[in-house]
Structure 1
Amino acid sequence: MSTAAPRTAGPDHLWSVDEHLDDILATVRPLEPIELHLLDAQGCVLVEDVTVPVSLPPFDNSSMDGYAVRVADVAGASERYPAALEVVGDVAAGAAGLLHVGPGQAARIMTGAPLPPGAETVVPVEWTDGGLGEGPATGMRARSLAPEGATGQVNVYRPAEARAHVRAKGSDVRAGDRALAAGTVLGPPQISLLAAIGRGTVRVRPRPRVVVLSTGSELVQPDEELRPGQIYDSNSFALTAAARDAGAIAYRVGAVADDATTLRDTIEDQLVRADLMVTTGGVSVGAYDVVKEALSYAGDEDEPGSGVEFRKLAMQPGKPQGFGSVGPDHTPLLALPGNPVSSYVSFELFVRPAIRTLMGLTDVHRPRVRAKLTADRALTSPRGRRQFLRGRYADGTVTPVGGAGSHLVAALARANALIVVPEDAESVAPGTEVEVVLLG
């Protein structure tokens, strides 16, 4: 995987949110395209237009069970004066060597079966006696036809216009049309279309493999017993789920204790399955900030240019951030703060766009809208910091959820948006129009 080198700045440089994001997106490169079978390509992005090789449907076919007839033979048909036609045979789906429908004749036809030569329209079985000579087919018998292979006579009780209940050849797509454009994300409907036009493989950018690991000797896995001073590891679960939501194949690594050698070894072990590494915790200025201790190096002779730069950003939450590359392939690594809200907000702002860039998408950001702030009191924000507050957005308004604390996981679970308070604002009054990042 090809990556550019991140920018570097002095240790006292305060990076803006936009500077940090621009550096990430200028460094990360889309993954190289590969050819994949259809089901393996789900969630991937097409790298080339797909042209229709054969029209859909490939032939005129019936949209109903009924009888293929000539229009003139059923003109004026009614229940009192039905059109009596000779049944010359059956046309089933997949039939080949079609029989011919001549004047005064009808062919019993099934849904999806090709319209036989000579026939101009289809009358549904409900408009006939089903070839049983017992009056119009109704109720349970409305879906019944005379026994397969039987010939004889059918009474038709209603006229039909030309090509009624006929799916025309090419009415869905025609040979030579563009079925899907480059840049399309392949979901179930797109895969269905590809299969329908006979494509078994497609050329796509693969879904990026993202490895998520959290750090901290205090972290315990869910379902284990908490001891004094311990907390459950929620960040690795949240970020792994967020990476999958962004389109990645994500792997969660159990929490790594506060030991730089162990962390470095764990990262090296995980590189074999990583297009992007994400760590959480250990990026501040504390005595046990293990990520900073383990990764703040310029690399060695075997890995020139590798290493992670730790930065201070003019944002809240999420001031401490790390970004760089590790390993012989210079795998991008984003180091996020350990507080749950800081970690998740940082993911949405920086990691998600990186994942979408690896996928080859052009629109990598969450949608943003303007909304009216509804709140009991004015929002306060530190000057010089861009603040991201959890909010609930609906019908053009947004309401703050929970406080500003970066540990408030319950409030985060109720939020579907981030309220953006710009760097030059210290207070935002209720009723003010604000920028909102939509998370749903």
Structure 2
Amino acid sequence: MSDAKNVPGAAATPRAPMMPMEEALERLLSQVTSLGRTESVTTPLARGRVLAQDLVSPLDVPPYDNSAMDGYAMRAADVAALGGEGAVLPVSQRVAAGSVPQPLQPGTAARIFTGATVPEGADSVLMQEQCEAIADATGASGGLGQVRINGPLTVGLHIRRRGEDLRVRQPVLSAGMRLNAASLGLAATAGAAALTVAARPRVALFSTGDELVLPGQPLGPGQIYNSNRTTLHALLLAMGCEVRDLGIVPDSLEATRAALREASKDADLILSSGGVSVGEEDHLKPALEREGRLDLWQIAIKPGKPLAFGEVTSTGGRTWFIGLPGNPVSSFVTFLLFVRPVLLRMQGATQLTPRALPLRAEFTWTKADKRREFLRAKLSDVGGLQLFGNQSSGVMSSAAWADGLIDLPPGSTVAPGQVLRFIPFNELF
């Protein structure tokens, strides 16, 4: 698409200075607020959702002292009184998980299995590998036999104490956190069959450009397949969104305005890729100015300099809009850096920025740029960082190959062994 400076007769317009990434993100997040909608979701289906209400444990977990091993429950003092290792105790009861034991008779042991309630009076469990079962010919133990102690015994050995995981009325999960498999398991441990989570943001997605063709269709002269549609759709689903795909919008002002009005009917956010420059065929800027408002920013990052942010208000509501660059890696990276935190803010999440790891470079980079760069890199077998050879914003294979992004400050070069800030994709997806 052409640039306005190359249009015959176009007046030269001074370029505004590029905006630091932190400032752009602060502007976005200062305007977007939580949607405030919640719903109840069955706990096993809540992975990736943002918790909307604190979860407090209604019980102690575990709810009773239980055995961490298959073995024998006993009193440590009884064994010590018989000389410690080598002592023999009669077995007075058998305790399986889910059964209710009798208090332990003094001077006896109870056969016990993992997860079973420790009998009242027992203060230790010795694993069966350190015990020897002995038949009782006298029948004094009611056919349960005897046990010889062949290992050291201490008070509390192999007993899981009541409430050692959770205490009744203890906060379990905090509102604003994104739920993963472990947190859902913890919720289930506390007996939560369902969780109150933020409702899914409704996002309308479209791409602009007459040169774009959907995968599966034949390519004509000057056409390319629309990869951004697939990439952004997948990223939106990973962020827990409901996606309405409006496809490819033709390069015309009226078509772009119509798409914005249609998208704003039931969307919380409109997301587009391409057409955020100021060329003759870039219609998003004038379309947004007629249907609402638009800020067009030049961000001091590479890849992904142009970013559009605004809102559609012409249909009587307020629907946020973010326009991403058309180059596939630029679109991918700017989604992760800007759209992702916006979607998290809409869901009331408390952690909006990803965590980065300090890792050593296994490459040389001499192409210092005045912008902050996000290089596609892979983890080596020894925990270092390897760089994809072609860092062009049009080479999507760099993103598919990589494990994450190197966050390189402006004006930086890299030498092998240098510690860099690395953001793994598993922090972002």
Q: TM-score range by the shorter chain?
A: 0.7 to 0.9
Are 1:354 and 2:342 matched, yes or no?
A: yes
Q: 1:431 to 1:121 in 2, by over 3 A?
A: closer
Contact 2:48 2:239 in 1 (8 A): no
Q: 1:197 to 1:320 in 2, by over 3 A?
A: closer
Are 1:111 and 2:98 matched, yes or no?
A: no
Q: Which amino acid aligns with 2:97?
A: A
Single out whichever of 242-251 and 226-235 deviates more from structure 2: 242-251
1:152 aligns with one of 143, 151, 158: 143
Q: Name the counterpart of 2:6.
A: none
Contact 2:361 2:415 in 1 (8 A): yes
- Give the gaps of 5 or more residues in structure 1: 1-9, 135-149, 300-305
Equivalent position SS for 1:174: coil
Single out whichever of 365-374 and 219-228 deviates more from structure 2: 365-374
Q: 1:58 to 1:222 in 2, by over 3 A?
A: same
Are 1:388 and 2:373 matched, yes or no?
A: yes
Single out whichever of 233-242 and 206-215 deviates more from structure 2: 206-215
Once residues 167 and 377 of structure 1 are traced to their aligned partners in structure 2, the CA distance between those partners, rounded to angstroms, is 54
Are 1:227 and 2:220 matched, yes or no?
A: yes
Q: Name the counterpart of 1:365.
A: 353
Q: Name the counterpart of 1:332.
A: 320
Q: Which amino acid aligns with 2:216?
A: D
Contact 2:375 2:408 in 1 (8 A): no
Contact 1:211 1:252 in 2 (8 A): yes
Residue 407 of structure 1, CA deviation = 1.7
Contact 1:57 1:171 in 2 (8 A): yes
Once residues 158 and 419 of structure 2 are traced to their aligned partners in structure 1, the CA distance between those partners, rounded to angstroms, is 54
Equivalent position SS for 1:350: helix
Contact 2:36 2:347 in 1 (8 A): no
Residue 280 of structure 1, CA deviation = 0.3
Once residues 225 and 151 of structure 1 are traced to their aligned partners in structure 2, the CA distance between those partners, rounded to angstroms, is 83
Q: Name the counterpart of 1:409.
A: 396
Question: 1:195-234 residue pairs with structure 2 within 5 A?
Answer: 195-234=188-227
2:329 aligns with one of 300, 319, 341: 341
Equivalent position SS for 1:296: helix
Q: Which amino acid aligns with 2:120?
A: P
Q: Which amino acid aligns with 2:66?
A: N
Q: Which amino acid aligns with 2:308?
A: G
Q: Name the counterpart of 2:99.
A: 95
Q: Name the counterpart of 1:16.
A: 19
Question: 1:4-403 residue pairs with structure 2 within 5 A?
Answer: 13-14=16-17, 16-18=19-21, 19-32=23-36, 34-37=38-41, 38-75=43-80, 76=82, 83-87=88-92, 89-96=93-100, 98-128=101-131, 130=133, 151-158=142-149, 160-246=153-239, 248-250=241-243, 252-271=245-264, 274-297=267-290, 299=291, 306-313=292-299, 315-326=301-312, 327-367=315-355, 378-381=366-369, 386-388=371-373, 390-392=375-377, 401-403=388-390
Residue 30 of structure 1, CA deviation = 1.9
Single out whichever of 61-70 and 229-238 deviates more from structure 2: 61-70
Once residues 49 and 99 of structure 2 are traced to their aligned partners in structure 1, the CA distance between those partners, rounded to angstroms, is 37
Q: Name the counterpart of 1:303.
A: none
Contact 1:49 1:181 in 2 (8 A): yes
Once residues 249 and 134 of structure 2 are traced to their aligned partners in structure 1, the CA distance between those partners, rounded to angstroms, is 76
Q: Which amino acid aligns with 2:71?
A: G
Q: 1:90 to 1:339 in 2, by over 3 A?
A: same
Contact 1:41 1:206 in 2 (8 A): no
Contact 2:407 2:423 in 1 (8 A): no
Q: 1:60 to 1:313 in 2, by over 3 A?
A: closer
Deviation per residue, 1:14-50 (Å, 9 max, x gap): 4513443332111111231525232343323335543
Contact 1:43 1:207 in 2 (8 A): no
Equivalent position SS for 1:332: strand
Once residues 98 and 107 of structure 2 are traced to their aligned partners in structure 1, the CA distance between those partners, rounded to angstroms, is 25
Q: Which amino acid aligns with 2:99?
A: A
Contact 1:389 1:400 in 2 (8 A): no
CA RMSD of aligned residues (A): 3.8
Q: 1:389 to 1:34 in 2, by over 3 A?
A: closer
Contact 2:136 2:143 in 1 (8 A): no
Q: 1:185 to 1:132 in 2, by over 3 A?
A: farther
Once residues 312 and 77 of structure 1 are traced to their aligned partners in structure 2, the CA distance between those partners, rounded to angstroms, is 81
Q: 1:312 to 1:169 in 2, by over 3 A?
A: closer
Give the TM-score normalised by structure 2: 0.77
Q: Name the counterpart of 1:143.
A: none
Contact 2:356 2:424 in 1 (8 A): no
Q: Which amino acid aligns with 1:94?
A: G
Report the count of equivalent residues. Answer: 399
Once residues 99 and 373 of structure 1 are traced to their aligned partners in structure 2, the CA distance between those partners, rounded to angstroms, is 63
Once residues 385 and 111 of structure 2 are traced to their aligned partners in structure 1, the CA distance between those partners, rounded to angstroms, is 61
Give the TM-score normalised by structure 1: 0.75
Once residues 358 and 144 of structure 2 are traced to their aligned partners in structure 1, the CA distance between those partners, rounded to angstroms, is 69
Q: 1:126 to 1:357 in 2, by over 3 A?
A: same
Once residues 281 and 30 of structure 1 are traced to their aligned partners in structure 2, the CA distance between those partners, rounded to angstroms, is 27
Q: 1:410 to 1:187 in 2, by over 3 A?
A: closer
Equivalent position SS for 1:153: coil
Q: Which amino acid aligns with 1:392?
A: A
Contact 1:391 1:398 in 2 (8 A): no
Contact 1:82 1:155 in 2 (8 A): no
Equivalent position SS for 1:111: coil
- Give the gaps of 5 or more residues in structure 2: 1-12
Identity fraction in percent = 34
Once residues 315 and 72 of structure 1 are traced to their aligned partners in structure 2, the CA distance between those partners, rounded to angstroms, is 70
Contact 1:50 1:179 in 2 (8 A): yes
Equivalent position SS for 2:206: strand
Residue 411 of structure 1, CA deviation = 3.1
